[in-house]
Amino acid sequence: MEIISTFTAALLTVEAFTGTYGINYGRIANNIPSPDKVVTLLRAAKIKNVRIYDADHSVLKAFSGTGLEIVISIPNENLKDMSANEDHAMNWVKQNVQPFLPDTLICGIAIGNEVLGGSDFELWTVLLGAAKNVYNAVKKLDLDGLIQITTAHSQAVFSNSFPPSSCKFRDNVAQYMKPLLQFFSQIGSPFCLNAYPFLAYMSDPGNIDINYALFLSTKGIYDPKTHLHYDNMLDAQIDAAYAALEDAGYKDMEVIVTETGWASHGDDNEKAATIDNARTYNYNLRKRLAKKKGTPLRPKNVVKAYIFALFNENLKWGPTSERNYGLFKPDGSISYDIGFQGLQSSSACSLLSTIKNYWRQITGKKELWHEKGGRGCYEHQISVAITSALTMLLFLQ
């Protein structure tokens, strides 16, 4: 493969994440809306950046012409084939990427998910080869200026993350991680981290303040090496990743959070998985990301995160919490209020009845409206009612 200099790569780097707030659109469920309706929902919620865990053509077609930016994925089970066969990697890109551009804004390809640190050690050995072959295919098709190649890691790649400055990659992971980081550094890709304060708290509730995990008022933690203070766990997890990267020789690589969230329901041993906690975490996370600021260790690197997840996924295996991360219900209404405008499923008759009642309330104030010159707040209410009704009807089609 052609080796690109670090300087040249910096000039050619493409960003798969142009905002600060994105969402993971998982689909291991039999009760979620069609991709077309999901587009309507994402637009209503004003969420632009989306990740999916495959390259489903129905999703890619639905996203065409929408302006939504999507990162697609090659599932873990395909990595061995992608690593062993350059032609198969090329065919995959030709079938799942090239036909949908430029109308569908595919801006990234994730090579597997949480491979290193996982239980399938054979996948550890093929991850880099798969990433290189997919990148080479993208480059040969002159798409490397549009599409970023990445892979997401769990906290399992680290040997220790407390305090953040002490974080390093596990010895058995490092031998695979360092060559991967070298390649990603050459092509200008970030380090992608799946960070879950929920899981960290659940693993040690006796020693972790839940307020620290939920972005609530707390004394936080102090890192004696860097003399930095952390008032929330997510920032600490991100800076732990930066510390591990620096220890591995990649101080300048950006960290992007590709998954984070909080379950709203769980098993009996998952007491922290409640609607109140999920609402608190995701609301405070949204506020934190809106500030567009960095972390204590990297104050100039604006934190970017994809929330997990768009919907609850009722067919996922594992503990109950795994099926209850969704911000939205299958009918498009919000699971809990964190400031998003959801879509509410109802019959057309019920919807029209609601609009008629709203119209009567407004026109009943006819005299006050005329006193204000025939324009103003009530005219605005009519406009809002009509706009909301049309959006809801689109979702119900």
Please identify which of the residues 69, 114, 254, 313 carries the catalytic annotation.
114
- Establish whether 69 is a catalytic residue: no
Three-state SS string over the chain comes to CCCCCHHHHHHHCCCCCCCCEEEECCCCCCCCCCHHHHHHHHHHHCCCEEECCCCCHHHHHHCCCCCCEEEEEECHHHHHHHHHCHHHHHHHHHHHCHHHCCCCEEEEEEEEECCCCCCCHHHHHHHHHHHHHHHHHHHHCCCCCCCEEEEEECHHHEEECCCHHHCEECHHHHHHHHHHHHHHHHHCCCEEEECCHHHHHHHCCCCCCHHHHCCCCCCCEEECCCCEEECCHHHHHHHHHHHHHHHHCCCCCCEEEEEECCCCCCCCCCCCCCHHHHHHHHHHHHHHHHCCCCCCCCCCCCCCEEECCCECCCCCCCCHHHHCCCCECCCCCECCCCCCCCCCCCCHHHHHHHHHHHHHHHHCCHHHHHHCCCCCHHHHHHHHHHHHHHHHHHHHC
Please identify which of the residues 69, 77, 86, 259 carries the catalytic annotation.
259
- Establish whether 254 is a catalytic residue: no
Cα gap 365→387, rounded to integer Å: 21
CB 284 within 8 A of CB 215: yes
Positions annotated as catalytic residues are 114, 259
